[in-house]
Structure 1
Amino acid sequence: MTRISEQNPALDRTIAPVLQAIWAEALGLETVGPDDDFLQVGGHSLLAMRIAAEVSETFDIELPMTAVFRHPTLASFEVAVENAVREQATAGRFDRGRR
């Protein structure tokens, strides 16, 4: 799976640190590494809801809580968020073109 940040390095500089901060704050940790597993570092369903809500609001996307469990490492979650951001941007361009 190709990360959007590989196509656009600016995204990696903006999305990755923001997601890391959101996870760290929700989990009560100073830092979270890219390979840290959400459940293994103390995550649970309420924290997944908090993370999904914060990410959805921050990036103006619709991200279900289940995304945290389907993509349990920060690195895999980042890919999922990047894809959602790209899909939202594409949908927005399509919707504007229909008006």
Structure 2
Amino acid sequence: DSYHSHPLKNAHPILVISMLGALLLNLLERLHRRYSNFVLRIHQLLLSLAFTSSYTVSLDQLQAELLKHHPIDIRTAREKFHLEGNIIIHAACPRCSYVYPAPFPK
């Protein structure tokens, strides 16, 4: 059921928090997509620096996967949170404003 299971349910909290922060700026503060993408890239850079600034020279498998799956585009983050709506196109009569149903299946 789509209401009780979410693709981010098992996602790493670091990814969820990073995406959520950028999404909140984009949606609530109306931050432009270009700057929202910048925020996501900065989050990814900070994660990379945090992972490599420890005493290990290379990333472990979890760290590499986190960086690989971290979105750098706000549209990808919106898709992961299922925030994109379904668009159904209807035709409307310009005279009487009657709305005709879509002629194709949903």
Give TM-score, length-normalised by structure 2: 0.29
Q: Which has the higher contact order (CA 8 A, sep 6+)?
A: 1
In terms of fraction of residues, the more helix-rich structure is 1
From the CA coordinates, give the structure whose radius of gyration is larger.
Answer: 2
